[in-house]
Amino acid sequence: MRITLLSLLLLCLAAATPARAELHITRDHGGYVEEYKTKYKRVREKGERVIIDGICNSACTLVLGMVPMNKICVTPRASLGFHQAYYDKAFTFGIKVTSSEGTSDLMSYYPDKVKDWIRRNGGLTTDMKKIKNGVELWKIIDPCPEEW
């Protein structure tokens, strides 16, 4: 009986300890913008931290405008990829048809540092423009501290 009570006490203590909530992005090539808006709104509301530890392309980059920047960091493996928004190719017979409305919507979420980088690199086009880990990326997002 004593072991059971001790186990129960330890279990209760573990349950009472706050969890270290975080979203770990390692290989995200993007997808539907509205799904990412919903996801990142939930992350922001929960106060979760975001660690970009690999590829974050396309709609994934909305995290930069939807989650506070002090809750986001990058590791040495991080890279970001930006391009114009386009319609689902399943509905355009496999042809990439850009959406000026969708592109404007994306840009409206980005913080000024991201918009400045995009402008300095020729604006959004159909081609993916990438920022890899290094000084340029660190001007936008802080490197992760060791404990993250």
Considering the chain, what percentage of its residues have pLDDT values greater than 70?
A: 85
Q: At what angle do helices 33-46 and 100-109 cross, to 10 degrees?
A: 10
Q: What is the pLDDT of residue 101?
A: 94
Q: What is the mean pLDDT of residues 29-41?
A: 96
Residue of 148, 143, 135, 131 lying closest to 75 (CA atoms): 143
Q: What is the pLDDT of residue 17?
A: 38
Whether 94 and 140 have beta carbons less than 8 Å apart is answered as: no
- Minimum mean pLDDT range among 9-13, 29-33, 100-104, 142-146: 9-13
Q: What is the pLDDT of residue 21?
A: 73
Q: Each residue of 132-144: pLDDT tens digit?
A: 988 999 999 999 9
Q: Tally the C-alpha atoms within 13 A of residue 122's C-alpha that lie toward its C-beta.
A: 9
Q: In whole angstroms, what is the distance from residue 86 CA to residue 88 CA?
A: 7
User: Residue 27 burial (CB < 10 Å; 0-12/13-18/19+)?
Assistant: exposed
Q: What is the pLDDT of residue 14?
A: 42
Q: What is the pLDDT of residue 34?
A: 95
Q: What is the pLDDT of residue 94?
A: 80
* pTM, to two decimals: 0.81
Q: Each residue of 53-104: pLDDT tens digit?
A: 999 999 999 999 999 999 999 999 999 999 999 887 777 788 888 899 999 9
φ, ψ (nearest 5 deg) of residue 90: -65, -25
Q: What is the pLDDT of residue 106?
A: 94
